[in-house]
Structure 1
Amino acid sequence: MFLRNMCIFSPSQPLDVKTKFYNSDKGDLFLEVQIQNTLPETVFIQHVSLELPEMYTPKPLNTLNLDRENECTFGTRTLLKATEERWYLYHLQVKEEYLKRARTLSGLMKMGMLNIVWKGELGETEMLYTVPLEREPESCGDLKLYLEKIPNTVVLEEPFQMTFKITNCSDKEMNLIVKMHNTFSVHWFGRSGSYLGKLNPGSSISFTLTLMCLQLGLRRISGLRIIDTTLKIKYCYDQLANVCVVPSRDKMEC
């Protein structure tokens, strides 16, 4: 009589893969991928690719343009030693026909798959490592404000300009006006209560405002208000940015 022993082995995880989504101030979506070799031996990364939903186009940011040719930032070295890590970065661009839909998405989203093809150090058969991607869409409320342009430094008591872009993330048309409130160190120029115009759902508009700083050093820009006259809603934006205020050359020479 024979007894058969059944043994269950749990294969070690060859790669530790971590992913993270980032939203920039301008609403761009980025994906960071961190790959670490958890085996006690070297592995060779053959290929890393993204399979995204139809509405997105991936733009890899892992190459450098040298002598009019794109070269990988990791060079020709594709091996990953034990415990060694490697980072990949992708810019996920929404196709134009999906822009309106992208602004209204909510809940946990399936973002496709990350596929990694690798080999062991002895050149074994290629293995496919697949990681499902998910993310929570950024909640921007009904109105999203982006800072598009600001100087690195400004001169004390001299006007400078900041450019903003606002996006209607709601499903209703807005009629917008802009109001500015001065602070102790920063004053706004122009007529407060200016009409920005109508803004349809999913649409954006840019506008430029003029300011002046009254104190030296790092100064916070605050006091911007956007009012929707249709629904009588006020959107308050403080801590918009920090600017470095320097003295004018004329005063320094004196």
Structure 2
Amino acid sequence: MFLRNLCVCSPSQPLDVKIKFYNSDKDDLFLEVHIQNISPATVFIQDVSLELPEMYTPKPLNTLNLDGKDECTFGTRIFLQATEGRYYLYHLQVKEEYLERARNLSGLTKMGELKIVWKRDLGEMAMLYTVPLEREAKRCGALKLFLLKIPDTVVLEEPFQITCKITNCSDKRMNLIVRMHNTSSVHWFGRSGSYLGKLIPGSSTSFTLTLKCLQLGLRRISGLQIIDTTLKIKYRYDSVANVSVVPSMDIMES
């Protein structure tokens, strides 16, 4: 009687995958995927796809519109040479019905899976490489502020405007007013203590403020404070944004 010994060997993984999440000013996310061929041979990437939780809709950002047609940023090449890498970018949009749930996420959060279908030779059977996706969700705090509109460059001592949006991330109703405090380089216009209105949990409101910069160079906009008169809580924003302050044309000509 002869016994046949069978040895089952799984192929070594030729890909190194790095995942990075970026928070946007809105409730959605951006996902960056870096895939690198760490083997000495060529690897053919057949497909890269995402399986996300129900609350997210993925939008790939790996195409360019050329002459009315969407073309892959990698061209027609589907292979990676040894040590060659490639970046994939996705916009993860939160569905409207899950906005409140997304805002309350905290700690380590499972974000589904990344699936890569690859093979070493064009004629061989494709392999599936699955990478679990996780991110550390950070709470935005009870009141989230981000900028809707701000100029990159402003003229010294000339008024300009910024438009802000605030979102109530708490589970309590807020009654808000805004206060502005001048600094050595930034002065605010308008009446400090203006009423912004009431915000129920999960809702947002926007407002426009006028200010001017008194010093040249890159200046930090600070001194903004929003007060919840219901709970008597102050939210201070000392790094709203940075703007580049340039001299006026009159000064430059003289």
Tell me the TM-score range normalised by the shorter chain.
over 0.9
- Equivalence for 2:209: 209
Consecutive unaligned residues of structure 1, counting only runs of 5 or more, are: none
- Equivalence for 2:244: 244
Corresponding position: 1:113 with 2:105? no
- Equivalence for 1:165: 165
In structure 2, distance between residues paired with 1:70 and 1:239? 39
Pairing of 1:81-100 with structure 2 (within 5 A) = 81-100=81-100
The question of whether the paired residues in 1 share the 8 Å contact of 2:188 and 2:212 is answered with yes
User: For the structure 1 residues 62 and 122, does the alpha-carbon distance in structure 2 shift closer, same or farther, using more than 3 Å as the test?
Assistant: closer
In structure 2, distance between residues paired with 1:240 and 1:96? 27
Runs of 4+ in 1 over 3 A off after TM superposition: 2-11, 25-28
Corresponding position: 1:146 with 2:146? yes
Aligned with 2:171: secondary structure?
coil
The question of whether the paired residues in 1 share the 8 Å contact of 2:44 and 2:122 is answered with no
Q: How many residues align?
A: 253
Residue-by-residue CA offset, 1:140-172 (whole Å, 9 max, x unaligned): 111111012111111111100011111111001
In structure 1, distance between residues paired with 2:122 and 2:28? 41
Residue-by-residue CA offset, 1:19-59 (whole Å, 9 max, x unaligned): 11110234431001011112211011011000111110000
In structure 2, distance between residues paired with 1:46 and 1:132? 19
Shift of 1:138: 2.4
The question of whether the paired residues in 2 share the 8 Å contact of 1:23 and 1:138 is answered with no
Residue-by-residue CA offset, 1:33-88 (whole Å, 9 max, x unaligned): 01111221101101100011111000000000011111100000001111111110
- Equivalence for 2:135: 135
The question of whether the paired residues in 1 share the 8 Å contact of 2:41 and 2:81 is answered with yes
Task: Give TM-score scaled by structure 1 length.
Answer: 0.94
Task: Identify which range, 22-31 or 197-206, moves more after superposition.
Answer: 22-31
Consecutive unaligned residues of structure 2, counting only runs of 5 or more, are: none
The question of whether the paired residues in 1 share the 8 Å contact of 2:14 and 2:37 is answered with yes
Aligned with 2:106: secondary structure?
coil
In structure 2, distance between residues paired with 1:190 and 1:151? 19
Task: Give TM-score scaled by structure 2 length.
Answer: 0.94
Residue-by-residue CA offset, 1:82-112 (whole Å, 9 max, x unaligned): 1111110000000111112111122322111
Shift of 1:227: 0.4
- Equivalence for 1:37: 37
The question of whether the paired residues in 2 share the 8 Å contact of 1:109 and 1:134 is answered with yes
State the superposition RMSD in angstroms. Answer: 1.9
The question of whether the paired residues in 1 share the 8 Å contact of 2:108 and 2:134 is answered with yes
User: For the structure 1 residues 3 and 46, does the alpha-carbon distance in structure 2 shift closer, same or farther, using more than 3 Å as the test?
Assistant: closer
In structure 1, distance between residues paired with 2:14 and 2:141? 41
- Equivalence for 1:21: 21
Shift of 1:119: 1.4
What residue identity is the alignment partner of 1:232?
Answer: K
What percent of counterpart residues are identical? 80
Residue-by-residue CA offset, 1:174-200 (whole Å, 9 max, x unaligned): 001000000011100000000100011
